[in-house]
Amino acid sequence: MSRGKVYIVGAGPGDAELLTIRAAKVLREADLVLHDDLVSRDVLDCINSCAYVQNVGKRCGNKSTSQNEINELMIQGARAGFMVARIKSGDPLIFGRAAEEIRALREAAVAFEIVPGVTSALAAASALQISLTERHVSSHVVLTTAHQVEGQSTSWTRVSRQDMTFVVYMPGSDYEKLQQQLHEAGFAADTPCAVISCAGLEDQSAVCANVGELHRLQPLLAPSVVIVGEVCGAAAATAAAQIESMRVL
């Protein structure tokens, strides 16, 4: 590992055992660690005890370190000869604002490396024990977010197709609004879907439904994702079978 360099690291969904070998090595050797708020304690415990660690993340709109300040911390740390680990939950290249940080590092002529991680969509599918793609069922996967830059609106008008799996990051707690957006996108009321909370962690939870029932669900804890598509039918069938077996017992 090189000093005077920034490593943009994907921390995965939170379970330290899901870190890549490369990511774990960076955490063990870094001098300066800048992490987002959603990075789990399990992952943070992998950081070497001599490193300077700073939480630079923000959650639910709470004021925290600005993006410009984060960029400056990375640049100054690398120029001082430190090995800098910039840790993001999931994969840094999926809704992680990595593009802004990459651009700043390039403009400052600072060496950097990107270490990918397990993104939430994959952790959620694993929790449900489903495949996001399935022959004759789904040959397209779309990753999107219900959270937009302030002043912008989310629009998925007519994006749906029968052989698609649609994954919504940061769905928020207004499932009625989400249901309306999915209807506008072309998803029928009987399209299977699932909400998964804290995927990949010990306290993960999930609920299976269909698009027309979303407004009736109690919001699950953040971070959560919503998977929409026929691939969720298998998860719903499994859940129904488990409930039936409990009744028999």
Q: Are residues 106 and 127 in the same domain?
A: no
Whether residue 214 lies inside any domain: the answer is yes
Tens-place pLDDT, residues 116-157:
999 999 999 999 999 999 999 999 999 999 976 555 667 788
Is 170 designated active site?
yes
Whether residue 25 lies inside any domain: the answer is yes
Name the active-site residue from 25, 31, 42, 170: 170
pLDDT value, residue 159: 85
Instruction: State the CATH number of the domain containing residue 133.
Output: 3.30.950.10
Which structure tokens are listed for 30?
Answer: 């870094």
pLDDT value, residue 239: 60
Q: Tell me the average pLDDT across 64-90.
A: 96
Name the active-site residue from 36, 74, 83, 164: 36
Q: Are residues 32 and 11 in the same domain?
A: yes
Tens-place pLDDT, residues 168-212:
999 999 999 999 999 999 999 999 999 999 998 989 999 999 999
Is 36 designated active site?
yes
Global pTM reads 0.89
Q: Are residues 158 and 96 in the same domain?
A: no
Give the whole-angstrom CA distance, residue 229 versus residue 190.
Answer: 10
Whether residue 249 lies inside any domain: the answer is no
Q: Are residues 77 and 139 in the same domain?
A: no
Q: For the purposes of burial, counting CB atoms within 10 Å of the CB of 42, is it exposed (0-12), middle (13-18) or buried (19 or more)? A: middle
Q: Are residues 21 and 100 in the same domain?
A: yes
**Cα→Cα distances 68→31, 64, 65, 78, 132, Å:** 21, 12, 8, 16, 36
Phi, psi angle pair for 34, to nearest 5°: -115, 115
